[in-house]
Every structure is written in structure tokens, then in C-alpha cells.
Homo-oligomer: A and B are copies of this chain.
Amino acid sequence: MVETDELLSIRAAELYYEENKTQDEIGQALHLTRWKVGRLLSQAKAKGYIRIEIVHPRARRLPIERRLREERGLDDAIVVSSAGVDSADEVQVRTAQAAADYLTALRPVPRTLGVSWGRTLHLVAGHLRQGWASGVGVVQINGGVSLNRRAGTAAATAVAIAQKGAGHATLLPSPAILERIETKRAIESDRVVAGVIEQARSASAYLFSAGAADHGSVHVESGYLAASDVDELVRKGAVGDVVGRYIDPDGNIVDPALDARTVGLTLDELRNADHAIAVIAGRSKHAVADAVVRSGLCTVLVTDEETALHILDG
């Protein structure tokens, strides 16, 4: 009889969802009372036979967001649907869009916003609307002067965010990673640099992404690290980087010596922030995303469905 009930619940679901019959009509068709039909329907839902999906580039996944908040202790989570998406780029674009939306709707509007840089943040900046805020201060939280080509994308990101928010950007005039620790100390003792970092520390919110530990990393592309350096970091357990600092699955610094040569906010400073918004999308970043959330590096996560499910269910 349980077998029959299961079949019946499927028949009922077909008539209800695909043929738009009322439960009463279904009852007549299957020789059941309408209450029985209602129960079969909720049974079908409970057993997961009914899958409802919202297919839209801007669609979110609220139940997953809720789980992230409840099971991972995030203050907030934005999970974009990856339904009907073929390319990894598309996923990143949707996530960036969502991050821009979140930032626009963020209340209270942060007086000063600390930002990192990279491909993802560049996209976020691009999706922000002119006038998303009125007079926001934007400050870079990690070094970003490129060593070779693509110079200025880091600066451009911060400037774009500030300009569209009718504010001004404070740039951190320093490379991300220095060759020698002495140089790093020297740069940090520079009054301008020290001032910017001080300002970064006092930002009311942070917006940053994370990089995967692979050869496609911006650090390799920008010339801060060689491909072999990344291999070495991976060997030591690195899953990716946050504001230029490479971490293992538990969020610990993988290479303290390298970390000491990295300019910008430290991870602990980030962890103590009230509003730390991480924007992380794409399959290659599943591991870092997990590390970021696990180790409390962010209070708010903006990501895609697959990454979120990876974080939740491993």
C-alpha cells in the first residue's frame, strides 16, 4: 500500500503542477477525497519528488543562505542561482552583480569601505550603479601596484567604486608582496603608506574576494609570484589567498615568511571587523571559500550556489 501511495502522490503531483487541476478535481479523477490529495501532495514535497527551481540570472537561493547563516554563523549570505549556467564566467558575473546589489542596499551605508582588488572585485565595481551611495570613502586594504602589465587595475577598482558612490578613493601605493622583508618594513614606515593602512584599519566595512592557489592567480599574472612559488605554497597546504595572504583549509597562514613580506591588512584585523564582505565565486575557489568561512574571515558571504553547497555539505 505504501508503494501505491507513492505512485498516487506522483500522479497527484503531475495533475496539480503540470495540469493545474485543483486538489478537488484530482480527488475525483483518482477516487480520493481532496484531503487525501492534499496529504499526498505534501508527502511528495517532503520526499523531495517536487523540485521547484527559479531560473533567472538574478535569482538567489534563500534556503541555502539561511543554512549558511545558521550553520556557519554568518551574519548574512547571498547565494546566487547557478541554474542554467554553462560558463564559469557567467557564474562570476552573477555573483558580482549580487555583491553590487548587496552593497547598494547595505544599511547603514559604510562611511569608509576597505576594498581589496582582483578580477572579481573589478566586476563588482563594474556592476555598481552610478550613485549607489552618496559620499563613501574607499580605501585599499592591500598593496596593489602591479609589477608589470595591467598596471592600475587595482587602483581602477577602488576609484570606480568611490566615483560611482560620489566619494573619493585612498590608494595604497605599494606592491602587494615585496622581495625582501626590509623593503616591506621600509615601505610600511613611509608616512603616506602608514596613513593609508591606518585608515584601512578603521574602515567601517570591508569588501574583498579570494584567489585560488593556482597558476591563474592574479599574483602570478601580476608578477608577484612565480608559478613555482604557487606550487610550493600548494605543497605547504595553501588553498588560496585573501588580501594577498595565502591560507590553508583552516585559515592559517601557510608561509609566515611570505606573509611577512605582504603589505596590507592582516587576516586577524579582517577577522575582527564588524562587516567583512567576501565575494567568492567559481568552482576553482571552493576550497578557499570554505577556508574563509570556516576561519571566520568574513561576516557576509556573496557566492554562487555550487560553492555554497560545497561549504555546507563538503
Contact = CB atoms under 8 A, between A and B. Distances in A.
Interface of A: 6-7, 10, 13-15, 17-19, 44, 48-56, 58-63, 66, 83
Contacts of A18: 52, 54, 61-63
Contacts of A62: 14-15, 18-19
Given A49-B59, A59-B49, A54 B19 contact: no
Given A13-B54, A51-B52, 8 more contacts: A6-B56, A14-B59, A17-B54, A19-B63, A49-B54, A51-B53, A52-B52, A53-B53
Contacts of A58: 7, 10
Contact of A54 (B10, B60, B66): B10
Contacts of A14: 54, 59-62
Interface of A is mostly: mixed
Contacts of A15: 62
A16 to B, nearest CB: 10
Contacts of A13: 54, 59
A66 B19 CA distance: 10
Contacts of A55: 48-51
16 contacts: A7-B58, A10-B56, A10-B59, A14-B62, A19-B62, A19-B63, A44-B54, A49-B54, A49-B56, A49-B59, A50-B52, A50-B54, A51-B53, A51-B55, A52-B53, A53-B53
A60 B14 CA distance: 7
Q: 9 nearest interchain CB pairs?
A: A51-B53, A18-B62, A17-B52, A49-B56, A10-B56, A13-B54, A14-B62, A19-B62, A52-B52
A48 B55 CA distance: 8
Contacts of A48: 55
Contacts of A60: 14
Nearest to A13: B54
Nearest to A19: B62
Contacts of A59: 10, 13-14, 49
Contacts of A49: 54-56, 59
A34 B204 CA distance: 37
A311 B55 CA distance: 25
A61 B55 CA distance: 20
A55 B53 CA distance: 12
A50 B58 CA distance: 13
A55 B6 CA distance: 12
Contacts of A54: 10, 13-14, 17-18, 44, 49-51
Contacts of A50: 52-55
A107 to B, nearest CB: 15
A79 to B, nearest CB: 11
